[in-house]
């Protein structure tokens, strides 16, 4: 099976712009989660989607949004970029959701976003 893919791998934007990141989960996985990783804040949960529905959301401003398509592919969008949005954005897919405690997540390679 192919792993989780994320595009693009690297992105450079300027303040005020918007950006869209894409994630394709492992075939058959219906849950997709997004994380932001920075040296100062570590790994922070952004949101989780299952069957096109947002099931969990982290503590991020409304500039951060996402969606999931019927084929489980997911996109996240960040509008009005700020310098502090520079980070590695990781996507993870999982075959299960919610009450399953064994929720091994398979991570993609990440998209490194730099905001100038």
Partner 1 sequence: AQKITQTQPGMFVQEKEAVTLDCTYDTSDPSYGLFWYKQPSSGEMIFLIYQGSYDQQNATEGRYSLNFQKARKSANLVISASQLGDSAMYFCAMKTSYDKVIFGPGTSLSVIP
Residues at the contact surface with partner 1, assessed by CB under 8 A: 33, 35, 42-43, 45, 48, 56, 58, 88, 90, 92, 98-99, 101-110, 112
Least Å distance, CB 51 to partner 1, is 15
Q: How far apart are CA 91 and CA 42, in angstroms?
A: 15
Q: How far apart are CA 108 and CA 115, in angstroms?
A: 21
Nearest CA to 5 out of 105, 109, 115 is that of 109
Asked if residue 20 lies in contact with residue 77, where contact means CB atoms within 8 angstroms, the answer is yes
Residue number with CB closer to partner 1 (45 or 65): 45
Q: How many CB atoms lie within 10 A of CB 76?
A: 23
Least Å distance, CB 16 to partner 1, is 27
Residue number with CB closer to partner 1 (49 or 85): 49
Least Å distance, CB 5 to partner 1, is 11
Least Å distance, CB 2 to partner 1, is 14
Across the strands, what pairs with 10? 112
Nearest CA to 74 out of 8, 30, 18 is that of 30
Residue number with CB closer to partner 1 (76 or 92): 92
Residue number with CB closer to partner 1 (46 or 78): 46
């Amino acid at each position: 099976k192919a792993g989780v893919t994320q595009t693009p791998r690297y992105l450079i934007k300027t303040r005020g712009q918007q950006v869209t990141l894409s994630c394709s989960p492992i075939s058959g996985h219906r849950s997709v989660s997004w994380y932001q990783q920075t040296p100062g804040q570590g790994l922070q949960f952004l949101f989780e989607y299952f069957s096109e529905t947002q099931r969990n959301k982290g503590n991020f401003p409304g500039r951060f949004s996402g969606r999931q398509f019927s084929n489980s592919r997911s996109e996240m969008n960040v509008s009005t970029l700020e310098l502090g949005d520079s980070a590695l954005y990781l996507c993870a897919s999982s075959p299960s959701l919610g009450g399953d405690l064994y929720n091994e997540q398979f991570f993609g390679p990440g998209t490194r976003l730099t905001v100038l």
